[in-house]
A and B are shown apart, each in its own frame.
Chain A
Amino acid sequence: MLVYLKIFRYNPEAGRSTPSFDTYNIEAQPTDRVLDLLEHVKGHVDGTLSFRRSCAHGVCGSDAMRINGRNMLACKVLVKDVGNEITVEPILGLPVLKDMIVDMEPFFDSYKAVMPYLVNDEVPADGKERLQSPEQRERFDDTTKCIMCAACTTSCPVYWADDQYVGPAAIVNAHRFIFDSRDQAGGERLKILSDHGGVFRCRTAFNCTEACPREIHVTQAIAEVKQAITG
C-alpha cells in the first residue's frame, strides 16, 4: 500500500528554524510500524530526519510522538491501525530541539521531584530482605509498568497549560512507592503531591490513560493518590 507520510520538521542548526512539514510517499505493508516508515525516510530519503528510538519494541519508551494527532509509541502502532495518511509530530508541552526530539529535562525534573526510589533506612528483620505478601505487591503492580515515555504527561491539557504541574507520569511513579509496604517516605511524597503542582491539578480529562502504551490505569492511580492525601 502507498502511504502518504507527513512529518514535522524543525532544525534551527540547518536553517529550518520555522517549524514545517515534509511529505513522503512510501510503499509499505499494512503490518509495518510507523517507526519502520521513519527509519525508511531516515535511511533512504533524508538522513537529517531526527527521532529517538532504542529498543523499537515498546519497552524503552523513547519514541513517543503524536501520530495522527494522538500520543503513541511509533514502534507499537501499525500502519493498518492509522490508515495510509499519517502525520507525525513531536509530543506537546516540551520544547522541541530537532524534528521529533524534545527536551525531556522538564519531564525528568517532575519525576525526580516525587522521590521515585525506595526509602527505608531500617535493617530488615532477618537482616537480608524485606518480605512482602502477594497482596501487598499487587497493590502497586499496575504503576510498576511505567516506561517513562511521557505519552501520558504530554497528552494532558493541564500540563500543556501549566508547567508547574508534575504531570501524570510523575504521579504514577509516586504511586508506585506510596503504596509499597516496604517504603517509609509515603507521607513526604503525599505532601509534595498535595502542593499547587500536585494531584489536585488533575482535571480527569483521561487523555493520559488513553495514551499510555503500557495500559496503566493512570487516572485511577491519580485518584488513589488524591484519596490517600484527603484520608
Chain B
Amino acid sequence: MASSASPLKTTATGYATYQGREGHYAFLLHRLTGLGVLLFLIIHILDTSTVYFYPELYEHAIALYRSTPFMLGEIGLVFAVIYHGVNGLRIAVTDLWMPKRWAIQTQRNAVRITLAISVLLWAPAALWMTYNMLLHNHGINLLPFIGTH
C-alpha cells in the first residue's frame, strides 16, 4: 500500500518546506501577491456594488477603508500589484524572447533585481500612504514643513 498524499497536502508541504533557491521564493511571492490582488478585487467589486443596492452600506465600507488596518493592507496591496507586475515582466520577457537567460546564475540575479525594482517603485507610494495614514488617523505629521491638506 502506497502513502499517497492529496495534491493539496503535497502542494502545501512543498510550498512550506521545499528548500528552493531564489526562483522558488519568487514563484511563491508571485502566487501570494496574485491571490492577494484577486482577493482585494473581489472585495472591491462587492463593496462598490453596494453603491447601487445599499448606499448606507457603501458609506460604511468607505469608512472601513479609511481605518488603519485597511490602510496598512492597501500599502501591502500596492506592493503586491507592483511585484506581481514586475516579476510577470521578468518571466514573460525571458520566456518569450530570451530563453537562454533561463540559466541558474542569471535567474538568481534577475530575481534579486526584480525584488529591488519592486521595492524601489513601491517605496514612494508606501511612504506617502503611511504619511497620510498617520496624519489623518492619528494626528501625527511626519512632514510638518509641507503642511496639511
Residues of A within 8 A of B (CB): 10, 12, 17, 19, 66, 68-70, 92-93, 95-97, 103, 155, 157, 160-163, 203-207, 209-210, 217, 219-220, 223-224, 226-227
B94 within 8 A of A: yes
Known: A68-B19, A95-B2, A209-B23. 14 other contacts (CB 8 A): A12-B3, A70-B18, A70-B20, A92-B14, A93-B10, A93-B14, A155-B20, A157-B14, A161-B7, A204-B27, A206-B23, A207-B20, A207-B21, A227-B99
**Partner among B4, B20, B22, B102 whose Cβ is within 8 Å of the Cβ of A219:** B102
Known: A70-B18, A205-B27, A220-B100. A95 touches B7 (CB 8 A): no
Known: A70-B20, A157-B15, A160-B11. A95 touches B3 (CB 8 A): yes
- With both chains docked as a complex, state the minimum distance between the C-beta of A60 and any C-beta of chain B, in angstroms: 23
Closest to B4 in A: A95
**Complex Cα–Cα for A96 and B11 (A):** 15
Chain B interface residue count, CB cutoff 8 Å, equals 31
Pairwise interchain contact A223-B99, C-beta atoms closer than 8 A: yes
**Complex Cα–Cα for A206 and B114 (A):** 15
Known: A97-B2, A157-B27, A204-B95. A217 touches B14 (CB 8 A): no
Residues of B within 8 A of A (CB): 1-4, 7-8, 10-11, 13-15, 17-24, 26-27, 91, 94-96, 99-100, 102-104, 107
Pairwise interchain contact B102-A70, C-beta atoms closer than 8 A: no
Pairwise interchain contact A19-B3, C-beta atoms closer than 8 A: yes
**Complex Cα–Cα for A210 and B17 (A):** 16
Known: A69-B17, A70-B18, A206-B102. A160 touches B10 (CB 8 A): yes
- With both chains docked as a complex, state the minimum distance between the C-beta of A62 and any C-beta of chain B, in angstroms: 18
**Complex Cα–Cα for A17 and B99 (A):** 45
**Complex Cα–Cα for A219 and B22 (A):** 14
Known: A10-B3, A217-B103, A223-B95. A206 touches B19 (CB 8 A): no
**Complex Cα–Cα for A207 and B7 (A):** 18
Pairwise interchain contact A163-B102, C-beta atoms closer than 8 A: no
**Complex Cα–Cα for A163 and B7 (A):** 8
The 3 tightest CB contacts between A and B, nearest first, are A206-B23, A69-B19, A223-B99
**Partner among A210, A217, A220 whose Cβ is within 8 Å of the Cβ of B23:** A210
**Partner among A206, A217, A226 whose Cβ is within 8 Å of the Cβ of B24:** A206
**Complex Cα–Cα for A193 and B130 (A):** 48
Known: A97-B2, A161-B7, A162-B7. A207 touches B95 (CB 8 A): no
Chain B residues with CB below 8 A from A97, complex form:
2-3
Pairwise interchain contact A220-B99, C-beta atoms closer than 8 A: yes
**Complex Cα–Cα for A160 and B11 (A):** 5
**Complex Cα–Cα for A223 and B88 (A):** 15
- With both chains docked as a complex, state the minimum distance between the C-beta of B36 and any C-beta of chain A, in angstroms: 17
**Complex Cα–Cα for A89 and B52 (A):** 56
Pairwise interchain contact B23-A103, C-beta atoms closer than 8 A: no
- With both chains docked as a complex, state the minimum distance between the C-beta of B33 and any C-beta of chain A, in angstroms: 14
Pairwise interchain contact B103-A220, C-beta atoms closer than 8 A: yes
Pairwise interchain contact A92-B13, C-beta atoms closer than 8 A: yes
